[in-house]
Amino acid sequence: MRDLREMTLGELEQAVAEAGEAPYRARQVMRWLWTREAASVDAMHEVPARLRQYLKRHFKISRLSASCVERSADGTRKLLLRLDDGVEIESVIIPAEDRTTLCISSQAGCAMACQFCATARMGLHRNLAASEILGQIIAARPECSDNERLTNYVFMGMGEPLANYVRLSNALTIMTAEWGLAISPRRITVSTVGLVPAMERLLADFPVNLAVSLHATLDQLRDRLAPINRRYPLAELLDACRRLPLNRRSRITFEYVMLSGVNDSFEDARRLLRMLAPLKSKVNLILFNPFAGALFQPSPREQVENFQAILLRGNLTATIRESRGQDIAAACGQLYAQRGARIRTEGNPFPGPPARGEPLSPSPFRGRGTQYVPLLLKGKGLGERF
C-alpha cells in the first residue's frame, strides 16, 4: 500500500480524480499532510467522507516517532527512530544562535565503509523510503522548544544520500514544493563521499547545497579512508566538481576530518589549497569525534588552527566545525542507531586497499542485512543507476 507522504501533487490529483473528486481536493489533502501534519486520513475533517474512505482503502500515512531522545549539555538532541520493520535510525537536532539544524539520515546504516565513521560499522541494512526521510522532519518538530524552529536541513546523518537517489529525489521534491514542506533549497545541504554521476544529477535536478566528504589529498590515503575513492579517484571527483552547474552564489563545501598524524600535516594543507584553488569552494575542517574501537585520534587544536591558517593565507575560505553532541554520541561520524550498542572493537576491521584497477573487497562490517560497497555501486536494486 503506497504512502501518501511519498506522493507528489500530480500523483495525488490523479488518485483524487480516480475517486471521482475535483482536483482541488488533492491540495486540500496535501495541506493536511504537510501543514497540519495529520496522523491519519480520518483527521482530515474538510475532506469529503467518500474521498477519505477511498484514501483509507488504497493508501496509508506513515508516522515516525522517537523511541528515545538523548539530550546533550550543549542543547543537541539525538532522536532514535524505530521504523515499521524494526530497523532503527538516528536524527540529530543541532541548535545555534541564529538557526536550528536537523541532521537527516538517508539509509539505515551505510555501505561506504569510511574508516573514521561509526555508522560504517553497522553495514547497510536498507535504503530509507521517502516517507521515512520526510518523517524525520515531522518527528523532530515536537522536540524543538517554544523559541526555536527547524531552519536548516543537512543530509549528513546515517548513510550515503546519493546511493539512495530515487528516494532522496522524491523527498527533496516534497521538501521544496510549495504544496509540500515549502523549504527553500538554499536551506538544504546534501553531503556525499563522492558518487560522481549522482552529484551531477543532483545539482541538475535541485538547486540545493552540496558538501563533498574529501578527507585526503592523495589517492593512496583516500583509498583507505574512503574506499569509494577506488571507484572515483580524486582527479575524477574534482573534475566533476568543476563541471557542476553552480549558481553565482553557490560554492561546494569540502569536508575534511582532521586525523592526528594521518592527514593533518602542513604539506596536506598546501596540497588541499592547490587542489581547491580553481574551484568555487570552501573547506569545513571537522574535529574527529572518537567512538569505541576507533583507529584514529583527533588532531590537536593547535594543529587544526595552523592547518586552517595555511588555507586562509591562500585565500581559501576555511572554517572549523565545532563538535556538538559529543557526550551523547551525536557528533559527526558517531551515529550508530542502537540504544546501548557496543561497536565492534576486536582486531583491525579494515582491509588494506587493493591495487588500483582491482575490484573492491567486501565491506568488513558484517551484520544483519549488510550490503557491500561493490554491490551498492553495481548491483541491481541496491544502489541507483545513473
Q: Catalytic residue positions? A: 90, 332
Encode the chain in three state secondary structure. CEEHHHCCHHHHHHHHHHCCCCCHHHHHHHHHHHHCCCCCHHHCCCCCHHHHHHHHHHEECCCCCEEEEEECCCCCEEEEEECCCCCEEEEEEEECCCCEEEECCCEEECCCCCCCCCHHHHCEEEECCHHHHHHHHHHHHHHCCCCCCCCEEEECCCCCHHHHHHHHHHHHHHHHCCCCCCCCHHHEEEEECCCHHHHHHHHHHCCCEEEEECCCCCHHHHHHHCHHHHCCCHHHHHHHHHHCCCCCCCCEEEEEEEECCCCCCHHHHHHHHHHHCCCCEEEEEEECCCCCCCCCCECCHHHHHHHHHHHHHCCCCEEEECCCCHHHCCCCCCCCCCCCCCCCCCCCCCCCCCCCCCCCCCCCCCCCCCCCHHHHHHCCCCCCCC
The whole-angstrom distance between residue 110's C-alpha and the CA centroid of its chain comes to 10
Longest alpha-carbon distance in the chain: 69
The whole-angstrom distance between residue 350's C-alpha and the CA centroid of its chain comes to 23
Contact 111, 372 (CB under 8 A): yes
